[in-house]
Structure 1
């Protein structure tokens, strides 16, 4: 009986995956979708660059997004540090007390 209780969740999961296919409720095979951004009305340099990067090479677009996000994080951190220093909050000399 213990063995049955161990196998039961796996059987239920397998049945949930196979039942739609058996009753043909899963539909037909999906065709390859191609997602592109419309660049016919864009004339600006930066928008054109991002749209062309998205349409031509997904890997490079992901790399550009990752680098851009890191650059924004660093720049926002530096700006925040400058604002904190100008308002008199110096976080560099803060003592950490750990319990």
Structure 2
């Protein structure tokens, strides 16, 4: 019974391969950003994405924390000016 179950599972796992074999093979997918109507920083960022996915990923990894710090400092500044002081609050945890 276990051997039959194993053969059935392997058969189900091979069904997609049979479907691919019948079609003659697929073509490679090309992922690019449309830069026809972009200008300035948007065009530069889109061209960077089209030219090198590695540089695009590195720039994104560096930019996200920097933007997060800028937004965090801005939010802290705004909350301080409207009277919310989160730095000196007492925590309710014991």
Classify the TM-score, shorter chain: 0.7 to 0.9
Alignment correspondent of 1:16: 12
**Equivalent of residue 66 in structure 2, options 68, 71, 76:** 71
Matches of 1:79 and 1:11 in 2, distance apart? 61
Q: Deviation of residue 31 (structure 1)?
A: 2.2
**Any gaps of 5 or more consecutive residues in structure 1?**
none
TM-score in terms of structure 2 length:
0.72
Matches of 1:93 and 1:59 in 2, distance apart? 43
Residues 24-39 of structure 1: pairs in structure 2 closer than 5 A: 24-26=18-20, 27-39=23-35
**Higher relative helix content:** 2
Question: For each residue in 1:5-38, what CA deviation from the matched residue of structure 2 results, as whole angstroms up to 9, or x when unmatched?
Answer: xxx5x766543321232xx323443222222223
**Any gaps of 5 or more consecutive residues in structure 2?**
none
Question: For each residue in 1:42-83, what CA deviation from the matched residue of structure 2 results, as whole angstroms up to 9, or x when unmatched?
Answer: 3x2212211110110001111222222222211111111011
The count of residues paired between Structure 1 and Structure 2 equals 90
Matches of 1:46 and 1:83 in 2, distance apart? 27
Alignment correspondent of 1:54: 49
